[in-house]
Structure 1
Amino acid sequence: MGFHTFPVDRADALDDPARYRFCSREELLEMLDVAADAVVADLGSGTGFYTDDVAPFVGAVYGVDVQSEMHDVHRENGVSENVELVAANVDSLPFDDDELDGAYSTMTHHEYASDETMAELARVLRPGGRVVTVDWSATGTGEDGPDPDERFGPEDVREQFEAAGFTVERVHDRPETLAVVARR
């Protein structure tokens, strides 16, 4: 896989509303399905496009990104009161065991997914906590997003979560993307 990061000099592309054709706010919230007081993490939050969409519907959101420059862009755009920006790798999250009610990633799973990150997600999600992954699918055409060689297929993602002890509730393979919902 690619295990790369999105170029900061193209950060404005992350705020393009055309991204909703791959995952709408409503679809993400429905899959995440957490309480109004939930604490969740946006993994690979970038400029906060989906962080800002989820924030009004939960108690707190950690916007996690390995690139602090992405957080700088998010700050320029404004950060909701219940959002805390965290510069960290997904394989070493600065959260307590069982701290999160949920986590999600949109178009970033291919950038961080490994056995270590799956184990780390299992550590920080409380029992019953849900994780949602929407990402570019290896079965896609590659017309949008990274080259298909840098992507995982839906069954690969299912296997990653199951190997880390998650129960996979849903797997959707769509024309260019996949969506996986798993519960700890």
Structure 2
Amino acid sequence: MVTDDMPGHWYEDYERGRPGYPAQVVDLAELTPSGTALELAAGTGKFTRQLVSRIAHVVTVEPDSGMRRRLVSGCPGVEVIDGTAEQIPLADGAVDAVFVAQAFHWFDTEPAVREIARVLRPGGALVVMWNVASGSAVPSITAVEELLAPIWPRDSGFPLDMMSGDWAPSAWKLPFAKKTFTEIHEARLANPQTVDASGLVAYFGSMGWIANLPDDQRLPLIDALTAQLTAEAYVLPWQTRVQWTRLSSPS
């Protein structure tokens, strides 16, 4: 989980190394350009940039101060608010759609779903998404895997597979969600990411168990990773998995 005590270099690595999202995700909400979109846990703005290119009014809520600084610098003109999914600092019925990218699993599900329902207008969309691995990197990064093996968490897939586990939220099983939101729709969108060696090193560096190492351990590891990555480019085969629904209109 992201916390305010993450080291400063972590934010740069996250922005440089993590994948973005397909533009067509925005279309799923069926917003007009004049609509208002809310992004929860907006992070460094990787999905926010898709929203601001299409929607007139975008509000972001992000609890981490380092992430907010990146949002402000990378997405000028976007309204950036300190807050959480469980306590959204907006009025009732304030937005036409809520988007959550790579973060819904961190929420305290029931209060977050209630808050999302509160700030949505009737018929408004909720769109949640995750980037997950759909294969191995090309060319192979086996040498990097072997180098990282001693510090890699045993319960995480290795190394891209850590983001390909059980991604679907349990929120829709809640009685409140069942009676408040319409049918859940799903889509899987190809989202390959091409990075150079430094971008791939940044991806690994954005993992907390690497980012939080003391510099006398982290920096030699970063150098060793860089030495193993000799190709001009690497293709990471992400797939964006999306679920979306709407707030039921009053009967």
For residues 54-100 of structure 1, the C-alpha deviation after alignment (integer angstroms, 9 at most, x for no partner) is: 112112111111112211122333x332x100110111111111111
The equivalent residue for 1:73 is 70
Cα distance in 2, alignment partners of residues 168 and 12 from structure 1:
38
Cα distance in 1, alignment partners of residues 240 and 38 from structure 2:
21
Candidates 57, 60, 72, aligned match of 1:60: 57
Cα distance in 2, alignment partners of residues 96 and 12 from structure 1:
33
The equivalent residue for 2:45 is 48
Q: Which amino acid aligns with 1:118?
A: V
> Which deviates further from its counterpart, 65-74 or 121-130?
65-74
Cα distance in 2, alignment partners of residues 18 and 5 from structure 1:
14
Cα distance in 2, alignment partners of residues 86 and 14 from structure 1:
20
2:133 counterpart of 1:118: no
Q: CA RMSD in A?
A: 3.0
The structure whose RCO (Cα within 8 Å, separation 6+) is larger is 2
Cα distance in 2, alignment partners of residues 154 and 144 from structure 1:
18
Q: Is the 8 A contact 1:43 1:104 kept in 2?
A: yes
Number of corresponding residues: 173
Q: Which amino acid aligns with 1:108?
A: A
Q: Could you tell me which runs of 5 or more consecutive residues in structure 2 were left unpaired when the two chains were aligned.
A: 136-155, 190-237
Per the TM alignment, residue 12 of structure 1 is displaced from its structure 2 partner at its CA by 2.2
Tell me the TM-score normalised to structure 1 length: 0.78
Q: How does 1:25-44 map to 2 (within 5 A)?
A: 26-44=23-41
When residues 157 and 14 of structure 1 are mapped into structure 2, their CA distance, relative to the original with a 3 A threshold, is: farther
Per the TM alignment, residue 27 of structure 1 is displaced from its structure 2 partner at its CA by 2.4
Q: Could you tell me which runs of 5 or more consecutive residues in structure 1 were left unpaired when the two chains were aligned.
A: none
> Which deviates further from its counterpart, 5-14 or 169-178?
169-178
Candidates 180, 196, 215, aligned match of 1:165: 180
The structure with the largest alpha-carbon Rg is 2
Q: Is the 8 A contact 1:45 1:105 kept in 2?
A: yes
Relative to its length, the structure with more strand (as a share) is 1
Candidates 160, 163, 181, aligned match of 2:244: 181
> Which deviates further from its counterpart, 30-39 or 159-168?
159-168
Per the TM alignment, residue 128 of structure 1 is displaced from its structure 2 partner at its CA by 0.5
